Amino acid sequence: MIRIKVDIIGAGIGGLTAGALLTKQGYQVTIFEKESYLGGRSLSFNGSDISVEDYKKLLARFRMNVAFSEPDINTIFEKNMLDGYKLDLGYHAIGGAGSNINSVFAELDDNVDFVRSKVGQIKKDGFDFPFLSCIDKVKVFPKIFRLLFAGEKTMKRLDSVSMTETVKQYGPGKMKEILEVFSRSITTVNNLDKISTGEVFRAQKNLLSGSKPVGYPVGGMHSVTKKFADYITSNGGKIHLNTTVDKILIKDGKAIGVVVGDKKYSSDFVVSNVLVQNLFSLADEKYFPKEYVKYIKSLNGTGSLCAYYSLKKIDSGLVGKTFHFIEHDVGVDGGDVVGMIDFMTSSPNSGLSPSGSFLVQSYIICTPGETRDKKTLKTLRYLLDKNLKVLIPGYKQDLNWTIYPTVWHLDGVAKTIDKDKPDITSPVENLYLVGDCVKAPGIGFNCALNSASILADMLKQK
Ligand SMILES: Cc1cc2nc3c(=O)[nH]c(=O)nc-3n(C[C@H](O)[C@H](O)[C@H](O)COP(=O)(O)OP(=O)(O)OC[C@H]3O[C@@H](n4cnc5c(N)ncnc54)[C@H](O)[C@@H]3O)c2cc1C
C-alpha cells in the first residue's frame, strides 16, 4: 500500500503530537528538527551534559538569555552545580494537569505520569491554599459558573469585551482577585485592557478538564516528548535531528515538500511547527495573500522572567504545591503583575534534582519588550524573590544556586483582544500550521498539543 507522505518541520510539542497522531492514522511521517534536542521550547536537558557556552547558545536560539544568577553562571557550571538536575529552558506547568496530553496518549495506548497540584495564593504575610476557601466557593462559584458554562454565542460576544470591563462589572472582593489573577496567568499578558474575556473563559474551561488545575510531567518535559518520538519511530516514522529545513516547496499553489541543504523531500502534505512569524523565511511570501503576510508579520509573543531556585531544604508543607501572586502598580504594561512559584518540581517523585536538593520553579509575566529592559528585570527579580521569601523566610541560607532565564516567546503569539491567532489551515493548499502560534484551545503547551489534535482530525483518512 502506498502511504501518504507528511513532512513536519519542527519537533516541538505541536510537531511531535501531529507526527504521532498522523503515524497512528497510517501516514508516512518525516520530522525535521534543527536542534539536537526533541521538544522545542518544551525541551529538557541534563545539567551535567551541557557546557555553559552551549547552554547560553541554546537559550539564545530560543530567544532567551540568563538575566541573573547566583553565583554567576560560569561558576555554576565550573563547579558542576547542575549535576543531577533536569531542567527545561524555563518554568513549565501544564494547565489541566496533563489531561489534554493524556487524552492524546490514550489514543496511542499510553500514558504520562504527572505531579499535580491545586493553586494557592501568596499574600503579604502568608498564603491561602487552595486559592478559594469553602466560603469563597459558595459566594463566587455561581458567578463563575454562569460565565464558564455560557454557550459559544455568549463567548463570541465576550471576545470583544476586555477583562478591565469584566473586572469592573463584578466589583471588589474575591471575584475581582480571581479575575485579575487567572486572566493574566492564563494568557501570560498583564494588561487587562488587552485580554479578551471570551478567550479567558474558553481557556479556563480547558483547565477544568483536569483533576487539578496544573501539573508537571514526572521526569521533566522530556518524558512527554520522548514518548511521542518513540511512538513515531517504532511505527515507521522518521525524525531527523540537527536538520534544518531551508525551504518549503510550493508548486501551483500547493505545498509539495521541503528542501534540506541540497536534498529535496517530496510529500503530500507539509506541516510547519515553526514560530509562525518565521514562516516566510521558509516559504516564499509571493504564494500568500498580501494581507495574510502583513498580519502574520504583525504578531508578537508573550514574555516572562523565570527563576529556578535549588534549595537544601523545604518545609514539607510546601512540597508539591503551586502558588500564584499578584503585585500592584509596579510600573509594567498593565500596572499590576502576576507570577507563580511552584513546588511540584521539588517533589521527590518528580525526578528532577539530586537527593537532598529541592528544585523550585517560578515565573513572572512581562512583555517581550520588558524582558530586554534591565531596570524592569531587576524589579521583576525582586518580586519573585520577595514572594518566595513570604513562603520560606530564610530561603537564602539554604540556597544552592539560582538561575533567572528570560523569554520573549513564551507563547508564540500573544492572543490579545485585537489580535487573533491564525488558522491551522494556511492559504497554501496542503500546507498546515501547528503549535502555540495557531488557533486552538488553551495557551502554550496545550494550544500546541490541541492544534495538532485538530489537524489530525482534519486529515483523518476516509
Ligand atoms: C521558558 C518557557 C517557559 C514556558 N512555560 C510554559 C508553561 O508554564 N506552561 C505552558 O503551557 N507553556 C509554557 N511555555 C510555552 C510552551 O513551551 C510552548 O507553548 C510550546 O512548547 C510550544 O510548542 P510548539 O510546538 O508550538 O513550538 P516550539 O517548541 O517552538 O517548536 C518548534 C520547533 O521547530 C524547530 N524549528 C524551527 N525552525 C526550524 C527549521 N527551519 N527546520 C527544522 N526545525 C525548525 C525548533 O527548533 C523547535 O524545536 C513556556 C515556554 C518557555 C520558552
For residue range 158-183, list pLDDT tens digits in order. 999 999 999 998 877 888 998 999 99
SS3 category, 247: strand
Asked whether residue 370 carries a pLDDT value surpassing 90, the answer given is yes
pLDDT at 268 over 80: yes
Q: Highest mean pLDDT range out of 144-153, 211-220, 305-314?
A: 305-314
SS3 call for 178: helix
Q: What local confidence, expressed as pLDDT, does residue 131 receive? A: 87
Q: What is the pLDDT of residues 84-128, one digit of tens each?
A: 999 999 999 999 888 999 999 999 999 999 999 999 999 999 999
By the 8 A CB rule, do 365 and 302 touch? yes
pLDDT of residue 379: 98
Instruction: Measure the CA–CA gap between 441 and 256, rounded to whole angstroms.
Output: 29
| Torsion sign, CA atoms 381, 329, 127, 168 | negative
Report helix angle 174-187 to 197-207, nearest 10.
Answer: 80
Atom of ligand 1 at shortest distance to CA of 14? 25
**Residue 441 DSSP symbol:** S
Mean pLDDT of the chain: 94
Nearest ligand 1 atom, CA 17: 25
Q: Are the beta carbons of 114 and 98 closer than 8 angstroms?
A: yes
- Give yes or no for residue 448 CB within 6 A of ligand 1: yes
pLDDT band at 402 (very low <50, low <70, confident <90, very high): very high
**What is the spatial distance between Cα 348 and Cα 293, in angstroms, rounded to a whole number?**
48
- Please say if the pLDDT value at position 440 is more than 80: yes
Using a 6 Å cutoff on CB, does residue 265 contact ligand 1? no
Alpha helices in 221-274 (DSSP H): 222-234
Structural domains of the chain, with CATH: 5-43+220-299+417-458 (3.50.50.60), 57-146+184-193+207-217+300-407 (3.30.519)
- Which atom from ligand 1 is nearest to the alpha carbon of 92? 8
| Residue 203 CB less than 6 A away from ligand 1 | no
Q: Is 36 in the pocket of ligand 1 (CB under 6 A)?
A: no
Residue 206 has a pLDDT of 67
CA dist 171 and 237 (Å) reads: 54
**Residue in 42, 270, 281, 438 to alter for ligand 1 test, most ligand atoms within 8 A of Cβ:** 42
Is there an atom of ligand 1 within 6 Å of 239 CB? no
End-to-end CA distance of the chain: 15
Nearest to 442 by CA among 24, 98, 81: 98
pLDDT of residue 34: 98
Q: Which residues are paired to 271 by β-bridges?
A: 8, 432
pTM assigned to the model: 0.96
Summarised one tens digit per residue, pLDDT across range 190-241 is: 999 999 998 888 877 766 666 788 999 999 999 999 999 999 999 999 999 9
User: Ligand 1 atom closest to Cα of 12?
Assistant: 31
pLDDT, residue 208, reads 66
Alpha helices in 252-401 (DSSP H): 290-297, 374-391
Q: Which three cell numbers stand for residue 286?
A: 509571493
